[in-house]
Amino acid sequence: MDNNSYNIIMALASNLEAREAYKKYAKDGNSQLWQQLSQQAEQAIQLLQQQLPQVIQGSQGQSQSQGQGYASQSSYGSGTSMGGGSNTQR
């Protein structure tokens, strides 16, 4: 997983946790403040949820192209006297 995907997932998790905490805090008083913060967290959650599929899809495309590059390199090396065939199994 690339850094960008990880960051979005962690930000999403943090905002989900914050939203739940704000709902609990609202029961103890100053509910207007906690409701406002909960709404802001909800907006962040929605934005992150929209970005997540795109980021993951982009991340998979990068890892596949990197993997294909590795496969083509190892295939090239498999005919050498170094016995590169063992490198192709990962």
**Tens digit of pLDDT at every position of the chain (90 positions):** 889 999 999 999 999 999 999 999 999 999 999 999 999 999 999 999 999 999 888 877 776 665 554 444 444 344 444 444 444 443
Q: Return the pLDDT at 14.
A: 98
Here the tokens at position 73 are 């390199």
Rounded CA-CA distance 82/80 in Å is 5
Q: Which phi and psi angles does 30 have, rounded to 5°?
A: 50, 45
Decide: residue 1, CB within 10 A, 0-12 exposed, 13-18 middle, 19+ buried: exposed
Q: What is the DSSP string of 62-84?
A: HHHHHHHHHHHHHHHHTTSTT-G
